[in-house]
């Protein structure tokens, strides 16, 4: 990862522009999914430039591959508010503009007399092409325009197989990528990370800014986000979350991460998605906690999975709508809108699936183990196209990422790279009994069956009539009967899989 001072190529470009750009010209820092002040290479470059800094965020949804979903828009609003406050505390301010980034940046440069624009790279297909055009336009106008590595530890073009292809299996990818990731993050001994600046040089006058509330990022269903309040978007919240996880849960992460009734996961994914914390900062914190146990290696591999997903999407920009394995193009999906709606609402009759779907709607989050079970149920029990489930997660997950959301759904479906085989069909009852044995997670989100006790809470349909009556459960009335029988659904799914022309 780049650290101040500037690299040689940037210095040469700065020198070549010195005749046309005043050294007193301010610089623009174009914030995107890097909504933080610490460990921010673009911001460090602006400070090295040595003049006033103008922080800018541009809402350019039309040029992105996908506009953020409803939950993510809520997070973005909170995060921008937090960043604005952090900048104000340092004598600066965040300028908000809406529109096409190339045009907006050109206008801002003319308004402010800026001589440089700095930003950190993203890797979504539409964004990559947009950023190339922006950089070319700014440079042709005589400005310095530089981008930096920050969102990933290993950029997609830094890694190729021995034959020059892309990695499509995680284990060899991570074997090759991990040493590069460690170097990019910097060793614990040699580096404590780049601190947030205590002050920022401000221009005499800041350019006009939109009002954040006018963007109407908040979802139209006002009551929907009431359950999101436990989250703390922003850089301070990200650092606090990382510190708590490192001290209390990282050591046992390898085992506890699979149990939804335990606080065993980091819950850093929305903070990482919006760049409120860098993967390098997270990596260094994990390394510092290495004595905590073998959960560290497992956790670092999860950072690697995030890198792997971005690697795949960069090289295969069609994956949000296309199967990585083309054999699945012929899969006989069912069109079943009523079944899809029951799954969305958490009314499938399988308590672990229903608990996950209700947790998602209530909090904007779902435990990772339960995500796999809920996704498998939609795809394999109901034979509904993975793209319908991915779209629902995109709209309702606070951590919805263009790469991770798509590739994880394809992983469950068996249609993706290094995917779980299609014939691995999770049994929701067995998964609940194994990972939520006393039913605490289920009864939190499906309270109508809470009095059944651990003996029947995973499968109310198996409970004797007397037990149902004592618990006040009336199947089909207070809680639905299972939509499908697990064994019958499994056989139907396997038959559909066998109908493909060739074995993927």
205-259: pLDDT as tens digits: 999 999 999 999 988 787 899 999 999 999 999 999 999 999 999 999 999 999 9
Question: For residue 300, what are the contacts with CB-CB under 8 A and spacing of at least 6?
Answer: 178, 283, 286
- HSE, side-chain direction, 13 A CA sphere, residue 411: 17
| pLDDT band, very low/low/confident/very high, at 20 (cuts 50, 70, 90) | very low
Given 100, 305, 433, 448, the catalytic residue: 305
pLDDT at 494: 95
Rounded to whole angstroms, how far apart are CA atoms 253 and 70?
30
Spatial neighbors of 31 by CB under 8 A, at least 6 apart, are 42, 55, 56, 57, 83, 94, 119
Whether the CB-CB separation of 275 and 150 falls below 8 Å is answered with yes
Confidence band for 290, pLDDT divided at 50, 70 and 90: low
* Domains observed in the chain: 8-151 (3.40.50.620), 152-192+233-317 (1.25.40.80), 326-497 (1.10.579.10)
Strands (E) across 333-425 are located at none
Q: How far apart are CA 315 and CA 319, in angstroms?
A: 9
Residue 4, pLDDT > 90, answer: no
Percent of the chain with pLDDT over 70: 92
150: Cβ contacts below 8 Å, ≥ 6 apart: 1, 34, 39, 40, 41, 42, 120, 121, 275, 278
Q: Which of 287, 333, 433, 448 is catalytic?
A: 333
Q: Is 302 a catalytic residue?
A: yes
75 belongs to the catalytic site: no
Q: Model confidence at 420, in pLDDT bands (50, 70, 90)?
A: confident
Helix (H) / strand (E) containing 387: helix 386-396
Determine the Cα–Cα distance for residues 389 and 12; give it in Å rounded to an integer.
49
Instruction: Give percent of the chain with pLDDT exceeding 90.
Output: 85
State the average pLDDT for the chain.
91
Which entry of 409, 411, 427, 445 is annotated as an active-site residue? 409
Catalytic residue check, 368? yes
Classify the C-alpha dihedral 286-292-297-301 as positive or negative: negative
Of 287, 302, 433, 448, the active-site residue reads 302
Q: Give the pTM.
A: 0.92
- What integer is the mean pLDDT of 264-284? 96
Q: What is the pLDDT of residues 178-203, one digit of tens each?
A: 999 999 998 443 354 588 999 999 99
If 0-12 CB within 10 Å is exposed, 13-18 middle and 19+ buried, where does residue 162 land?
A: exposed
Residue range 85-100: mean pLDDT, rounded: 97
The residue annotated as part of the active site, out of 158, 261, 368, 433, is: 368
92-96, 226-230, 351-355: which range is least confident on average?
A: 226-230
408 among known catalytic residues:
no
Q: Which residue is catalytic, options 386, 392, 411, 445?
A: 386
CB 464 within 8 Å of CB 376: no
- Name the percent of the chain in helix, strand, coil, to the closest 5: 55, 5, 40
């Amino acid at each position: 990862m780049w650290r101040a001072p500037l690299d040689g190529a940037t210095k040469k470009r700065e020198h070549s522009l010195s005749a046309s750009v005043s050294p007193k010209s301010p610089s623009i820092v174009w914030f995107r999914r890097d909504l933080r002040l610490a460990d921010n290479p673009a911001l460090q470059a602006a400070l090295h430039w040595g003049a006033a800094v103008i922080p800018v965020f541009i809402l350019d949804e039309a040029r992105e591959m996908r506009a953020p979903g409803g939950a993510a828009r809520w997070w973005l609003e909170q995060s921008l508010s937090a960043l604005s406050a952090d900048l104000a505390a340092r004598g600066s301010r965040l300028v908000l503009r809406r529109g096409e980034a190339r045009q907006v940046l050109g206008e801002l440069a003319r308004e402010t007399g800026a001589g440089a624009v700095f930003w950190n790279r993203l890797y979504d297909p539409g964004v990559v092409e947009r950023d190339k055009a922006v950089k070319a336009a700014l440079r042709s106008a005589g400005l310095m325009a530089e981008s930096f590595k920050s969102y990933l530890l290993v950029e997609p073009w830094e890694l190729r197989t021995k034959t020059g292809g892309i990695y499509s299996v995680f284990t060899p990818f991570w074997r090759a990528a991990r040493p590069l990731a460690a170097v990019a993050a910097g060793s614990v001994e040699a580096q404590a990370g780049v601190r947030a600046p205590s002050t920022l040089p401000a221009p005499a006058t800041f350019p006009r800014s939109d009002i954040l509330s006018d963007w109407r990022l908040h979802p139209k269903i006002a009551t929907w986000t009431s359950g999101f309040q436990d989250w703390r978007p922003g850089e301070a919240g990200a650092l606090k979350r990382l510190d708590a996880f490192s001290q209390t849960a990282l050591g046992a992460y390898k085992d506890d991460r699979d149990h939804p009734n335990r606080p065993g996961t980091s819950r850093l994914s929305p903070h990482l998605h919006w760049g409120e914390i860098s993967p390098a900062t997270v990596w260094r914190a994990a390394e510092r906690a290495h004595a905590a146990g073998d959960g560290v290696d497992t956790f670092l591999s999860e950072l690697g999975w995030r890198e792997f997903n971005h690697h795949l999407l960069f090289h295969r920009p069609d994956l949000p709508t296309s199967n990585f394995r083309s054999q699945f193009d012929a899969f006989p999906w069912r069109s079943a809108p009523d079944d899809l709606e029951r799954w969305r609402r958490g009314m499938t009759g399988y308590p672990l699936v229903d608990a996950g779907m209700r947790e998602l709607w209530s909090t904007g989050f779902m435990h990772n183990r339960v995500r796999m079970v809920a996704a498998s149920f939609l795809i394999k029990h109901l034979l509904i196209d993975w793209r319908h489930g991915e779209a629902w997660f995109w709209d309702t997950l606070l951590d919805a990422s263009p790469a991770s959301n798509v590739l994880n759904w394809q992983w469950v479906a068996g249609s993706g790279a290094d995917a779980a085989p299609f014939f691995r069909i999770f049994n929701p009852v067995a998964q609940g009994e194994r990972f939520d044995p006393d039913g605490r997670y289920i009864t939190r989100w499906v309270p109508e069956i809470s009095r059944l006790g651990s003996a029947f809470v995973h499968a109310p349909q198996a409970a004797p009539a007397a037990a149902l009556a004592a618990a006040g459960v009336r199947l089909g009335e207070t809680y639905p009967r299972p939509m499908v029988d697990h064994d019958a659904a499994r056989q139907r799914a396997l038959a559909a899989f066998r109908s493909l022309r060739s074995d993927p």
